[in-house]
Amino acid sequence: MPDAIAILDFGSQYAQLIARRVRELQVYCELFPWDTPSERVLALDPKGFILSGGPASVYTPDSPFIPVYILGSNLPVLGICYGMQALTHTLGGKVAPSARREYGPAQVRSVAPNPLLPEGELAVWMSHGDRIESCPTGFTVLASSQNSPIAAIGDLERRYFGLQFHPEVHHTPQGGEILRRFVVDICQARQDWTAESIIAQSLQRICQQVGPEPVLSAVSGGVDSSVATAMVQRAVGEQLVAVFIDTGLLRLGEAAQVQVALQDALGAELVVVDAVDQFMQALKGVTDPEQKRRVIGERFIRIFEQQARQLGQPRYLVQGTIYPDVVESSAPDRSKAQRIKSHHNVGGLPPDMQFELVEPLRYLFKDEVRRVGEALGLPHELVWRQPFPGPGLAVRCLGEVTPARLDKLRLADAILTSELHSAGLLHMQVGEDELYGTAQAFAVLLPVRSVGVMGDQRTYQEAVALRAVTTQDFMTADWARLPHELLAKIANRIVNEVPGVNRVVYDITSKPPATIEWE
Over residues 310-324, the mean pLDDT reads: 85
pLDDT tier at 435 (50, 70, 90 boundaries)? Answer: low
Which of 154, 186, 218 is at the close of a domain? 186
If asked whether residues 319 and 417 sit together in one domain, one would say no
For residues 356-385, one letter each, b for 16 or more C-beta atoms within 10 angstroms of the residue's C-beta and e for the rest, the string is ebbbbbbbbbbebbbbbbeebebeeebbeb
Which of 186, 221, 255 is at the close of a domain? 186
What CA–CA distance (Å, rounded) separates 77 from 95? 18
* Greatest extent of the chain over all pairs of C-alpha atoms, in Å: 79
151: DSSP letter = S
> Has residue 512 been placed in a domain?
no
> Has residue 270 been placed in a domain?
yes
What CA–CA distance (Å, rounded) separates 236 from 34? 36
Is residue 98's pLDDT more than 80?
no
Q: What local confidence, expressed as pLDDT, does residue 342 receive?
A: 47
Between 259 and 110, the more confident residue is 110
Alpha carbon 225 to its chain centroid, in Å, reads 15
Pick left, alpha or beta for residue 72 (phi over 0 → left; psi -120 to 50 → alpha; otherwise beta).
Answer: alpha
Q: What local confidence, expressed as pLDDT, does residue 99 receive?
A: 60
If asked whether residues 33 and 167 sit together in one domain, one would say yes
Pick left, alpha or beta for residue 45 (phi over 0 → left; psi -120 to 50 → alpha; otherwise beta).
Answer: left
> Has residue 60 been placed in a domain?
yes
If asked whether residues 22 and 105 sit together in one domain, one would say yes
pLDDT in tens, 135-158: 999 999 999 988 889 999 999 999
Closest CA to 486 of 445, 436, 447, 448: 436
CATH assignment at residue 141: 3.40.50.880
477: DSSP letter = B
If asked whether residues 159 and 13 sit together in one domain, one would say yes
pLDDT tier at 17 (50, 70, 90 boundaries)? Answer: confident
Q: What local confidence, expressed as pLDDT, does residue 327 receive?
A: 62
Q: What local confidence, expressed as pLDDT, does residue 332 receive?
A: 37
pLDDT tier at 107 (50, 70, 90 boundaries)? Answer: very high
Cis peptide preceding 512, ω within 30 of 0? yes
Over residues 338-358, the mean pLDDT reads: 59
Lowest mean pLDDT among 105-109, 244-248, 310-314: 310-314
If asked whether residues 211 and 357 sit together in one domain, one would say yes
Over residues 284-313, the mean pLDDT reads: 90
Number of structural domains, the chain? 3
Is residue 395's pLDDT more than 60?
yes
Phi and psi at 450, nearest 5°, equal -140, 160
Q: What local confidence, expressed as pLDDT, does residue 400 receive?
A: 96
Q: Report whether 30 contacts 363 (CB < 8 A).
A: yes
Q: What local confidence, expressed as pLDDT, does residue 346 receive?
A: 42
List C-alpha distances in Å: 309 to 40, 122, 316, 353, 464.
Answer: 37, 60, 12, 13, 42
Beta strands in 295-394 (DSSP E): 316-318, 356-358
If asked whether residues 87 and 209 sit together in one domain, one would say no
> Has residue 176 been placed in a domain?
yes
Q: What local confidence, expressed as pLDDT, does residue 363 receive?
A: 81
Q: In what order do the strands lie in the sheet with 215-219?
A: 269-274, 240-246, 215-219, 316-318, 356-358
pLDDT tier at 101 (50, 70, 90 boundaries)? Answer: low
Is residue 268's pLDDT more than 60?
yes
What CA–CA distance (Å, rounded) separates 242 from 263? 10
338: DSSP letter = P
If asked whether residues 409 and 301 sit together in one domain, one would say no
Tell me which residue range forms the domain holding 239: 195-383
If asked whether residues 179 and 214 sit together in one domain, one would say no
- The pLDDT mean for the chain works out to 88
Pairing of strands 435-436, 457-470: unpaired
Q: Report whether 21 contacts 31 (CB < 8 A).
A: no
> Has residue 442 been placed in a domain?
yes
Over residues 287-307, the mean pLDDT reads: 90
Is residue 348's pLDDT more than 70?
no
> Has residue 511 been placed in a domain?
no
- DSSP per-residue codes, 215-257: EEEEE-SSHHHHHHHHHHHHHHGGGEEEEEEE-S-S-TTHHHH
CATH assignment at residue 414: 3.30.300.10
Q: Report whether 249 contacts 279 (CB < 8 A).
A: yes
Supply angle C-alpha 116, 337, 346, rounded to 5: 120
If asked whether residues 369 and 407 sit together in one domain, one would say no
- DSSP per-residue codes, 117-140: S-SSEEEEEEEEEEEEEEPPTT-E
List C-alpha distances in Å: 377 to 26, 217, 242, 370, 381.
Answer: 21, 19, 18, 11, 12
pLDDT tier at 339 (50, 70, 90 boundaries)? Answer: very low
Q: What local confidence, expressed as pLDDT, does residue 334 receive?
A: 36
Q: Report whether 518 contacts 444 (CB < 8 A).
A: yes
Q: What local confidence, expressed as pLDDT, does residue 305 receive?
A: 85
| N-terminal to C-terminal alpha carbon distance within the chain | 39
> Has residue 519 been placed in a domain?
no
The rounded percent of the chain whose pLDDT value lies above 70 is 92
Closest CA to 255 of 416, 418, 445, 406: 406
pLDDT in tens, 207-264: 999 999 999 998 877 889 889 999 999 999 989 998 889 999 999 988 888 787 777 7
If asked whether residues 150 and 292 sit together in one domain, one would say no
Q: What local confidence, expressed as pLDDT, does residue 328 receive?
A: 60
The rounded percent of the chain whose pLDDT value lies above 90 is 63
> Has residue 513 been placed in a domain?
no
Phi and psi at 234, nearest 5°, equal -65, -35
Q: What local confidence, expressed as pLDDT, does residue 278 receive?
A: 96
If asked whether residues 11 and 30 sit together in one domain, one would say yes
Please name every residue paired with 511 in a beta bridge, in sequence order, or none if there are none: 477
Is residue 350's pLDDT more than 70?
no
If asked whether residues 219 and 150 sit together in one domain, one would say no
Phi and psi at 103, nearest 5°, equal -130, 120
pLDDT in tens, 80-97: 999 999 999 999 999 988
Indicate the SS3 state at residue 302. Answer: helix
Catalytic residues: 81, 166, 168
Q: What local confidence, expressed as pLDDT, does residue 266 receive?
A: 72
In one letter, which amino acid is 349?
L
Between 173 and 257, the more confident residue is 173
CATH assignment at residue 364: 3.40.50.620
Over residues 456-480, the mean pLDDT reads: 89
Please name every residue paired with 216 in a beta bridge, in sequence order, or none if there are none: 241, 317
Lowest mean pLDDT among 109-123, 171-185, 323-337, 451-465: 323-337
Please name every residue paired with 109 in a beta bridge, in sequence order, or none if there are none: 121, 144
pTM of the full structure? 0.74
Q: What local confidence, expressed as pLDDT, does residue 282 receive?
A: 96
pLDDT in tens, 37-75: 999 999 999 999 999 999 889 888 889 999 999 999 999
pLDDT tier at 337 (50, 70, 90 boundaries)? Answer: very low
Query: Taking each helix axis from N to C terminus, what angle separates 366-375 and 195-210, rounded to the nearest 10 degrees?
Result: 90
Task: Kindly give, in sequence order, each residue whose CB lies less than 8 Å from that of residue 75, ignoring residues fewer than 6 positions away.
Answer: 46, 47, 48, 49, 159, 187
Which of 327, 356, 383 is at the close of a domain? 383
Q: What local confidence, expressed as pLDDT, does residue 457 receive?
A: 87
